[in-house]
Chains A and B, each alone.
Chain A
Amino acid sequence: MLKYRFRDPIHGFIEVSRLELKIIDSAPFQRLRNIKQLSTTYLVYPGAEHSRFGHSLGVLHLVTRAFESALENYRMDNGGKALFGDVQKEWYRQILRLIALTHDLGHAPFSHGSEELFEENLTHEDYTKKIICETEIACYIREIGEEFRQKYSVGEEYDITPELLWLIYGEKNPEFDPRYRMPDFKFLKSFMDSELDCDKMDYLLRDSYYCGVNYGKYDLNRLLSSLSVYYRPEENIMQLAIKSGGVRAFEEFVIARYFMFIQVYFHKTRRYLDRLLVDNLAAILPGSKFPDQVDEYLKWDDLTVMNRINKVRKDSPIAEKFLNREVMTCVFETPLHSNRQIDLTTYFAIRNTLNRELQNGIVEDTAEKLPHKIPTIETFDSSSGKGIPILVNYYDKPLSIADESILLVSLTQPINIRRIYVDKIHAEAARTIVSELINERTGD
């Protein structure tokens, strides 16, 4: 039973149950209030002060709506035949809500901005696993499992445990675990990790709202109401799908990702400030790495980091720089989709010349290895499992978005921005060098 309501600027009321509220009220979850969703973006877009806390609630809300909608559309299009039995459906629904609620618990301070300071091979998901399995949250998840079994009078096969949540959402090779249900669990995961997942659905709208931009907006209601399921029991395939009527909303959603990437996530000043933040964190963290131990790790949030940076500012030029928001100047950037010979050779020529002239005083940045993935257009049967089947009622086989949208096919070229920054005092000289080199190469 859903009893408690949060007021959210994106989705209105978000309802949670009494036991879900226990998770929300726990210390590891409350920590998310002090982890900014968009790292240092608030130093560029002043409204971007929002946190992982609101986003986690938003994703919980959206997976519930998306799951209900996909199942209902499937039922309607299959002569009233439900995909799952009632208990199974409720079980999956509860599991999905818990995965959504807890999926970001492992984030480091300033979200993705500081992830390079994890011990080798660790990711924020590894910390999520530790937090859901090793803290008080584990007990609350089990309590929800027990209540579920009592409510529906079902056995251990309907248990809900932190380990089960991780098996479904985070485990790398889970298929042969006896608890793993194929293809159902893959289907559940796609609500959280696919080209059309609820994580992206929420953060695009939320980031857009708090940044005060329109780039991330799309028709959420149309998108949700178009969700369905591509189910081929004989091949063990059960994919989150979209009905053909929702293709325009899907296009809008992908384009929103594209614009948000360029205008917000990869903003040149934010990228530089993230880098400066990481340098500061490396200086204040013991051994320049976040601790492995979950209790120690949870002590780190944005407030801790800002306090520590503030403490060392007298003796640390980079701390002073960060706190005063002293940014380097971006003096050159390649075209958005630069993959032509001329773009790359020009970039390398500029980089080498500036390095020589400014005694290696430049900073470079590329879109490579970014946490916010660049939109790609996967075929529905791509082995990534992220492609979305498009269901057309007169075809047996679904279509892929590339078949249906010329607009999105044009986005298949990867974003490949490369930037060069220099200190403000060298900016004018650097710009002159850049200008001369470009004119030389273009013959102007």
Chain B
Amino acid sequence: MEFPNNAAYIIKKFNQIWDKKPGKKILQKLVFLIQEAGVDLGFDYGLHFYGPYSSSLDAVTTFLSADGIIDFDYSGYSHLMSVNEEVFSVQPMDLSREQLQLIDRVITDFGGRSASDLELLATALYAYKHLQDKSRESIIQGVIKIKGAKYSREQIETALNDFSYFGKPIY
């Protein structure tokens, strides 16, 4: 099951590591990457036009906001999030030290990438997860089926280079 506090924890770590606020899209993709790296946070993902998306994660951020645990900044385009620990201290729940280290590492290694790059990587990992044929060509065709010509073949292949980070063998 998903723990809302863990979503808040990831926002807090992002705020700390990158000294900025993640938008909804960045958070969605980062949580996806964290799960693909092996930390099961319990969020189910589907896919629409702009990469993998978890409605349960979205609902969690809404209610974290309602409870005053995270603040949304609606002034810009991206609905930026930050934690507010005036009432509640944000602590992770039911996660081991190793899992927390992995979360930190993914945020550090991928949190600085653009929303578009994260969308591509997350889409490629999504294709890997749901395609039976895990070959390089199959994943590339899978991404093309979803994204059309938005990303070049070269960009997709570059994204596949990150797969070893997530322990996903392709051949």
Whether chain B is bound by chain A comes out as yes
Residues of A within 8 A of B (CB): 172-173, 175-176, 182-183, 186, 232-237, 239, 337-341, 344-345, 367-369, 374, 376, 379, 381-386, 400, 402, 409, 412-416
Question: For the complex, is B166 an interface residue (Cβ under 8 Å from A)?
Answer: no
Q: A176-B127, A344-B67, A376-B62 are in contact. Are A383 and B50 (CB under 8 A)?
A: yes
**Contact for A412 among B55, B74, B130, B148, CB less than 8 A:** B74
Q: Are B47 and A175 in contact (CB under 8 A)?
A: yes
B88 to chain A, nearest CB (A): 9
Residues in A neighbouring B74, C-beta threshold 8 A: 402, 409, 412
B111 at the interface (CB under 8 A from A): no
Across the interface, do A176 and B50 meet the contact criterion of CB distance under 8 Å?
no
- Distance in Å from the Cβ of B162 to the closest Cβ of chain A? 19
Interface residue from A175, A341, A379, A386 paired with B145 (Cβ < 8 Å): A175
A381 and B72 contact, Cβ closer than 8 Å, known pairs A235-B149, A235-B150, A376-B62: no
Count of interface residues, chain B, beta-carbon cutoff 8 Å = 41
Say whether A382 contacts B44, CB under 8 Å: no
Partner of B87, one of A345, A369, A386: A345
Query: In the bound complex, what is the Cα–Cα distance between A381 and B115 (angstroms)?
Result: 12
Nearest neighbor of A385 in chain B, beta-carbon distance? B48
Residues of B within 8 A of A173 (CB): 46-47, 126, 130
Closest to B72 in A: A412
Is B52 an interface position by the 8 A CB rule?
yes
B62: which A residues are within 8 A, CB to CB? 374, 376, 414
The answer to whether B142 has its CB under 8 Å from any CB of chain A is yes
Assembled-state Cα–Cα distance A222/B125 (Å): 42
User: What are the interface flags for B57-73 relative to A under an 8 Å C-beta threshold, 1 for contact and 0 otherwise?
Assistant: 01100110111100010
Asked whether B49 is an interface residue with its Cβ less than 8 Å from the other chain, the reply is yes
A389 to B81 CA separation, bound complex (whole angstroms): 23
A368 to B48, CA, bound (A): 25
Residue contact B149 to A182, C-beta cutoff 8 Å: no
Given the known interface contacts A344-B87, A382-B24, the answer about A236 and B63 at a Cβ–Cβ threshold of 8 Å is: no
Of all chain A residues, the one with the shortest Cβ separation from B127 is A176
Q: Flag whether B171 is at the interface (Cβ < 8 A).
A: no
B147, A384: Cβ atoms under 8 Å?
no
A233-B148, A341-B68, A402-B77 given. 7 additional CB < 8 A pairs? Answer: A235-B150, A237-B148, A339-B65, A382-B24, A383-B52, A384-B48, A415-B66
Give A8 to B109 CA distance when docked, in angstroms. 58
List chain B residues, Cβ under 8 A from A340: 68
Question: Is B82 engaged at the interface, CB distance under 8 Å to the other chain?
Answer: no
B131 interface residue per 8 A CB criterion? yes
Name A176's contact: one of B65, B66, B130 (CB within 8 Å).
Answer: B130
Q: Which residues of B contact A379 (CB under 8 A)?
A: 77-79
A385 to B74, alpha carbons, bound, how many Å?
19
A258 to chain B, nearest CB (A): 14
Q: Does B12 contact A (CB under 8 A)?
A: no
Bound-state CA distance A379–B53 (Å) is: 14
B87: nearest chain-A partner, CB-CB = A341
